């Protein structure tokens, strides 16, 4: 049973981020920019509708559909960018000359299917305690069941950590292999994810929090002093949205550039493959 070397995996992931940032940006910028633009458009049009209704609690009828579209595009973008970076780390395939990444081959489709499956399971896990609480009034029981389901979900997510590299290498789902590889490494994989993503989350979250606090601090007073307070507040919020959308895009590039290597180098360690060794795609068992 192989043990994941936590600090070594995190080190290699950050080395990949810094040394291969040009390749990372070239491969992921286009899908992630589409997601950012759609998110900005959703927010911008939503603010326009609120200003027109003179009610910032108003939600236009199209909001739910637009939100669903953004979620679907986000899933597809994740699949394309994650598979591309997996291929760099696992096969040394940098897709030279690719600046507008678009690929929906078998690995990407499997990634999309897995994302929808995880989303469906999450919806069911949330719905069960909510329905129980609504029908029986037993809120404590609902909370307890919710906590238990959340714990089971977290456990499964960690144990299935290697499923993404397995999909890229073998072109198929193999939950049994993922469980076999991660056996005895639950807390090590938790540590890899925590130590690897925590610096990115702190920097990104801290910057957004500070900007939000200082930028929005005077919006109410500024809008109140305007001849059209709703229009003034809407303009301020749209400017805020533009800045947050750009910073969110940059954050998604970095988060993808560190998240995928954390998974891939953990997979390599579990399979006793050196960090700078590459698999032969033709002999990797893909169909």
48-106 residue pLDDT tens: 999 999 888 888 888 889 999 999 999 999 999 999 999 999 999 999 999 999 999 99
More confident residue, 285 or 275: 275
Q: Are 192 and 8 spatial neighbours (Cβ–Cβ below 8 Å)?
A: no
pLDDT at 199: 95
pLDDT at 287: 40
- Within 8 A by CB and 6+ apart from 168, the residues are 83, 86, 87, 90, 107
Q: Are 153 and 125 spatial neighbours (Cβ–Cβ below 8 Å)?
A: yes
- Within 8 A by CB and 6+ apart from 274, the residues are 268
CA torsion 181-187-191-192 (nearest 10°) is 0
Query: Average pLDDT, stretch 254-279?
Result: 96
pLDDT at 254: 97
- Within 8 A by CB and 6+ apart from 265, the residues are 9, 12, 13, 16, 89, 275
Residue 185 has pLDDT above 80, yes or no: yes
Residue 283's CB is within 10 A of a number of other CB atoms, namely 7
Residue 263 has pLDDT above 50, yes or no: yes
pLDDT at 98: 96
Give the C-alpha separation, 85 to 92, whole Å: 9
Give the C-alpha separation, 157 to 275, whole Å: 23
Closest CA to 249 of 68, 12, 25, 66: 25
Q: Which range is least confidently modeled, 35-49, 95-109, 111-125, 261-275?
A: 111-125
- Within 8 A by CB and 6+ apart from 87, the residues are 93, 95, 168
pLDDT at 234: 87
Query: Average pLDDT, stretch 254-260?
Result: 97
Q: Are 270 and 185 spatial neighbours (Cβ–Cβ below 8 Å)?
A: yes
What is the pTM assigned to this prediction? 0.90
Closest CA to 165 of 94, 82, 75, 47: 82
pLDDT at 133: 66
Rounded to an integer, what is the distance from CA 42 to the centroid of its chain?
Answer: 19
More confident residue, 283 or 277: 277
Q: Are 192 and 263 spatial neighbours (Cβ–Cβ below 8 Å)?
A: no
């Amino acid at each position: 049973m192989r043990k994941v070397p936590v600090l070594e995996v995190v080190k290699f992931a950050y080395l990949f981020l810094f040394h291969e940032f040009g390749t990372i940006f070239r491969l992921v910028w286009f899908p992630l920019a589409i997601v950012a633009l759609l998110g900005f458009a959703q927010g911008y049009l939503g603010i326009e509708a609120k200003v027109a209704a003179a009610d910032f609690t108003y939600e236009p009828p199209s909001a739910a559909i637009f939100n669903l579209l953004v979620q679907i595009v986000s899933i597809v973008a994740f699949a394309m960018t994650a598979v591309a970076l997996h291929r760099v780390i696992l096969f040394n395939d940098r897709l030279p000359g690719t600046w507008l990444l678009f690929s929906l081959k078998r690995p990407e489709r499997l990634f999309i299917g897995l994302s929808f499956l995880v989303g469906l399971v999450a919806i069911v896990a949330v719905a069960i305690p909510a329905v129980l609480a609504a029908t029986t009034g037993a809120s404590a029981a609902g909370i307890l069941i919710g906590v238990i389901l959340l714990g089971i979900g977290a456990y499964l997510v960690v144990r299935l950590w290697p499923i993404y590299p397995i999909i890229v290498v073998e072109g198929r789902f193999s939950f049994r292999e993922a469980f076999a590889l991660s056996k005895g490494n639950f807390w090590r994989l938790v540590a890899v994810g925590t130590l690897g993503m925590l610096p990115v989350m702190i920097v990104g979250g801290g910057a957004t929090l500070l900007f939000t606090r200082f930028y929005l601090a005077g919006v109410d007073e500024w809008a109140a002093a305007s001849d059209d307070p709703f229009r003034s507040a809407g303009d301020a919020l749209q400017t805020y949205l533009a800045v947050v959308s750009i910073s969110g895009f940059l954050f998604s590039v970095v988060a993808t550039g560190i998240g995928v290597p954390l998974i891939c180098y953990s997979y390599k360690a579990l399979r006793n493959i050196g960090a700078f060794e590459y698999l032969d795609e033709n002999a990797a068992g893909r169909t």
